[in-house]
Amino acid sequence: MLDGKKSLFSGMQATGTITLGNYLGALKNWVDIENEYMCFYSVVDLHSITVRQDPKVLRKNARDLLMLYIAAGLDPEKNCIYYQSHVSAHAELAWILNCFTYMGEMNRMTQFKDKSAKHSDNINTGLFTYPVLMAADILLYQADVVPVGIDQKQHLEITRDIAARFNNIYGDVFTIPEMYMGKAGRKIMSLQEPTKKMSKSDTNPNSHILLLDDPAVIMKKFKRAVTDSEGVIAYRDEQPGIKNLIDIYCATTGCTVEAALAEFDGLGYGALKQRVGEAVIAELEPVQQRFRDLSKNKDYINSIIKNNAEKAGYYATKTLRKVQRKVGFPDRIR
């Protein structure tokens, strides 16, 4: 809780642009909850450097991502959208929490194992303690809920463990966060391998739609989407490609599966792909237009960056000071 309101925290990596899966599964649904929760959306650039980054590219991606959040409809006056690196309390709390986290716990993290296999030339200790920084992110804002995908569940669990351990020793300092289920965003699958999640790290560009893809590119990717040889449009697990197209359509337009099936009755796969492609283009065009407008409006974006860093810093510092007192650091002299 913060100022009597429930608090929500989420972080997003600024690597490349985001996919239609991220948008339909997360961002689009967040627009509805800005009045219910005090929302913090952080572009987690501290996390990004656990793998090697080109500084110019990272800086550009971070700014693009921040603008995309706003372009997607999150009101930056109501939602605190900010860069993690602009609020030093994240790194400070992460250090303290490192001293309350065991090697054995970090060793069990499956994402660490995956990532260290992938980046075997750079297994740095930042990558190892990545979940502790995530815990700091969440706990600084006394988050009640954290909307994350299933791949981050283990990190949220360790956050809860660390928070409970700390509270156990020092009294009620941290809110124990829950995973946010909310209005279940649909899980959007790859257009090329529809049993796998849509991912921007997939090397086949036809597998995913990026939020800033040109309309013509979007249509081409849908036209190339993998289907099956059944030849009927049905919503069932045996036809994962068709099912995914229907899911994308429903998540985009807000219609039910039944309504979509009725609408598509008698269509061939080619026509189905065309319809889904058109719906997605219609949805993303205004987002892309807003993104282009925001890109031109540097002063406005800069003021958002500044104000939101201050706002996030205000709440984060409050928690940090409390923690510093609890662990026995000397009081600051004013």
Contact residues toward ligand TRP (CB under 6 A) are 9-11, 13, 44, 47, 134, 137-138, 146, 148, 152
**CB within 8 Å of 59: residues ≥ 6 apart:** none
- In the set 153, 183, 200, 296, the catalytic residue is 200
User: Could you tell me the smallest distance in angstroms from the CB atom of residue 160 to ligand TRP?
Assistant: 12
Q: Cβ(223)–Cβ(45) under 8 Å? A: no
Minimum distance of ligand TRP from residue 259's CB (angstroms): 32
Nearer to ligand TRP, 72 or 138 (CB): 138
Please identify, using beta-carbon distances, which residue of 138 and 225 lies nearer to ligand TRP.
138
Residue nearest to ligand TRP (CB): 11
In angstroms, what CA-CA distances link 45 with 13, 90, 91, 130, 134?
A: 7, 11, 11, 12, 12
197 is catalytic: yes
Angle at 189 between CA 211 and CA 21, to 5 degrees: 25
Q: Which residues of 21-55 are buried (b: 16+ CB within 10 A; e: fewer)?
A: bbbbbbbbbbeebbeebbbbbbbbbbbbebeebee
Instruction: Let me know the angle formed at the C-alpha of 239 by 196 and 275, rounded to the nearest 5 degrees.
Output: 90
Catalytic residue among 115, 221, 243, 273: 115
Residue 112 Cα to chain centre, angstroms: 18
Neighbours of 118 (CB within 10 A): 11
CB 176: neighbour CB atoms within 10 A?
15
Helices 257-264 and 240-253: angle between axes, nearest 10 degrees? 110
Backbone CA torsion sign across 174, 176, 179, 180? negative
Closest CA to 228 of 213, 215, 245: 245
Whole-angstrom distance, CA of residue 214 vs CA of residue 208? 13
The answer to whether the beta carbons of residues 315 and 140 sit under 8 Å apart is: yes
Give least dist CB 209 to ligand TRP, A. Answer: 19
**Residue 282 C-beta: closest distance to ligand TRP, Å:** 28
Q: Is the Cβ of residue 13 or residue 274 nearer to ligand TRP in the bound state?
A: 13
Q: How far is the CB of 333 from ligand TRP (least distance, A)?
A: 33
Is 153 labeled as catalytic in the residue annotation? no
**Which is nearer to ligand TRP, 175 or 227 (by Cβ)?**
175
> Which residues have C-beta within 8 Å of that of residue 250, sequence separation ≥ 6?
186, 256, 257, 260
Shortest distance in whole angstroms from residue 324 CB to ligand TRP: 21
In a 3-state reduction of DSSP, which class is residue 144?
coil
First to last CA, the chain: 28
Query: For residues 148 and 280, which CB has a smaller minimum distance to ligand TRP in the complex?
Result: 148
Given the complex with ligand TRP, which of 65 and 233 has the nearer CB atom? 65
Of the pair 39, 134, the CB lying nearest ligand TRP is at 134
Q: How far is the CB of 41 from ligand TRP (least distance, A)?
A: 9
Please indicate whether residue 115 is annotated as part of the active site.
yes
Q: What amino acid positions are annotated as catalytic residues? A: 115, 197, 200
